[in-house]
């Protein structure tokens, strides 16, 4: 009986997985010509437990995964969802599931991505992809320990490419309590979660300028 049921279900799953992979293939093809980019980055924090002024820096990226930040001051930059790497989600590196079919007239599909690579394990991703534009518009990241990040991405055209101009990260993390403060006041109400938003604005892009490997070597 169970064998009969699985024989009906598995072909449908296989078709869905193949469809999900095609969406990733389309994105990879779209950005295959992007070798590097540089951009000005401005980060605004709206988190109750983290007070900081807006921060500015220069971001350098070189395919497949090299990044560098240059800033004259201390700079906090959320790499989880905060910077654009079109090659991050290669289909061979993930178990992929198509979460729900595209609604009639809709353009968004949602893919669940579970990493296979050891260095990425402990996280799961859900991508919201505009199938007409071949763009990741939304990204939910769930991490071990209850850390959650949701990203909404707005794009602008830079030469032949569409690159992020505005990313909003919504954070929901477990509260971290230091050894110094633990037990000082047992009746004090402490938040169990840390929530807030980070807004990242990109401007003054330069693409495919031939960034050298030396730029990314630690000095």
CA distance 30 to 25: 9
Question: Helix, strand, or coil here: 148?
Answer: strand
Prior bond of 64 cis (ω within 30°): yes
Amino acid 156: pLDDT: 97
Structural domains for the chain: 8-177+190-209 (2.50.20.10)
CA neighbours closer than 13 Å in the CB half-sphere of residue 128: 14
Q: What is the pLDDT along the chain (219 residues), one digit of tens a residue?
A: 434 333 344 444 344 568 888 999 999 999 999 999 999 999 999 988 888 889 999 999 999 999 999 998 877 878 777 889 988 898 899 999 998 766 666 789 999 999 988 877 888 999 999 999 999 999 999 988 888 999 999 999 999 999 999 999 999 988 765 444 444 454 445 557 889 999 999 999 999 999 999 999 876
* pTM of the model as a whole: 0.82
Q: Is the dihedral of CA 100, 138, 129, 36 positive or negative?
A: negative
What's the CA angle centered on 50, arms 48 and 53, to 5 degrees? 110
DSSP state of 204: E
């Amino acid at each position: 009986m169970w064998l009969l049921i699985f024989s009906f279900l598995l072909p449908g799953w296989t078709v869905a997985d193949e469809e999900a992979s095609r969406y990733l293939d389309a994105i990879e093809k779209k950005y295959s010509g992007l070798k590097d980019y540089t951009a000005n980055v401005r980060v605004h924090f709206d988190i109750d437990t983290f007070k900081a002024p807006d921060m500015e820096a220069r971001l350098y990226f070189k395919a497949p995964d090299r990044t560098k930040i240059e800033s004259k001051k201390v700079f906090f930059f959320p790499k989880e969802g905060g910077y654009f790497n079109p090659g991050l989600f290669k289909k061979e590196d993930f178990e992929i599931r198509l979460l729900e079919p595209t609604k009639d007239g809709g353009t968004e599909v949602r893919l669940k991505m579970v990493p296979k690579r050891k260095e990425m394990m402990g996280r799961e991703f859900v991508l919201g992809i505009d199938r007409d534009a071949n763009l990741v518009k939304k990204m939910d990241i769930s991490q071990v320990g209850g850390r959650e990040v949701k990203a909404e991405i707005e794009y602008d055209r830079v030469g032949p490419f569409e690159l992020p101009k505005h990313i909003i990260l919504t954070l929901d993390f477990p509260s971290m309590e230091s050894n110094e403060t633990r037990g000082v006041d047992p009746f004090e109400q402490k938040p169990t979660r840390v929530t807030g938003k980070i807004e990242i604005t990109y401007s003054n892009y330069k693409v495919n300028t031939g960034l050298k490997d030396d730029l990314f070597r630690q000095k």
